[in-house]
Amino acid sequence: MDPHKARIVPLLTETQIARRVAELARAVSADYAGRELVLVGVLKGAWVFLADFVRGVTIPVTVEFIAVSSYGEDTESSGVVRITSDLKTSVEGKHVLLVEDILDTGLTLRYIVRHLSMQRPASLKVCVLMDKRERRRVPVEADYVGFQVPDRFVVGYGVDCAEYLRNLPFVGYVDESPEPEEEAR
């Protein structure tokens, strides 16, 4: 799929996203009141979500990043997850909230949760902007979910198509139906 020619159908507006991200930040702030929290953003997809989310959190936080690869330039996960950049500081004994853009098959999230759990944090929870339940291949759930989304290839608000379209201020899905001229042929 050529991301430059992709037809994007809006799914979540800027306003809907901003409202829900603020709600998630308030919920996390209340749940972790009186404690410090380490937010671990999953690169590259979660950085836009994390940037907005962290500004709404009202408790002391630090931010770390972990980068993983399972898609490459494909639109389907390969199922093989690898860490391409790990945390720079220890999370042992700390409260950790993993922040991810989308929970899809669950393979990537399960891998990262297991990886972080081995570092013995005081607690480990997961916050995702989008959850695509019908695609789940392994039993994994998020503690905080922004939106349930349909089984479509979504882009925007940090989520990419072959590294493009992350800069869309909304979330949309790629319309892969044939163009009307193509159907007539």
Which residue type occupies 23? Answer: E
DSSP calls for 48-91: HHHHHHHHH--S-EEEEEEEEES-TTSSS--S--EEEE--SS--
Give the residue carrying structure tokens 């319309």.
175
In this structure, what is the dihedral angle of CA atoms 154, 158, 164, 165, given to the nearest 10 degrees? 60
Catalytic residue among 104, 143, 160, 175: 104
Give the residue carrying structure tokens 């992350």.
166
DSSP state of 179: P
Q: Is 104 a catalytic residue?
A: yes
Alpha carbon 178 to its chain centroid, in Å, reads: 29
Q: Among residues 157, 132, 182, 139, which one has the least CA distance to residue 48?
A: 157
Length of the chain: 185
Which active-site residues does the annotation give?
104
